[in-house]
Amino acid sequence: METEKKIVRVACAVPNGVMIRRWKPGYDDGTGFKPTIPDGPAVQLNGTSAVAAGVGNTSPSGLDPGITEVDAEWWDAWLAQNGENPLVAMEHVWVLKDPEEAKAEPDPDPTF
């Protein structure tokens, strides 16, 4: 019997979305250095429409975010690696708690 994977709805306020990826240490090729390599496939987060954002606008305020369904386990691992990433710290990507939250605005005055 296959268990159903838990899914989270991730909101992204970056115009046109953003590709996110998990990373892990690679193998030692004999030099004593372990390069960082991708840990599985990347996930494309749908973003807000760049058409509605205006020329050069990178602020997410006032725009409805794009919504992407992501495996909860994958998201938790990515969030653990990227807790200080500006996408997370400035609330450009976040998990929706309820369906009505998709219309809520992120922080209207983000500090850049």
Among the ranges given (2-6, 51-55, 93-97), the one the predictor scored with the smallest mean pLDDT: 51-55
Provide the pLDDT for residue 12.
93
Provide the pLDDT for residue 64.
86
59: closest CA among 10, 97, 108, 6? 108
102: its two tokens: 């998709």
Q: Compute the 3-state secondary structure of the chain and give helix, strand, coil in percent, each to the nearest 5.
A: 20, 25, 55
Provide the pLDDT for residue 48.
85
Do 10 and 93 form a contact (C-beta atoms < 8 A)?
A: yes
Q: Mean pLDDT throughout 43-69? A: 79
Provide the pLDDT for residue 55.
66
pLDDT digits (tens, 9 = 90+) for 58-84: 666 677 899 999 999 999 999 999 999
Contacts of 2 (CB under 8 A, 6+ apart): none
Place of tokens 């939250």: 101
**Domain range summary for the chain, segments of one domain joined by +:** 7-103
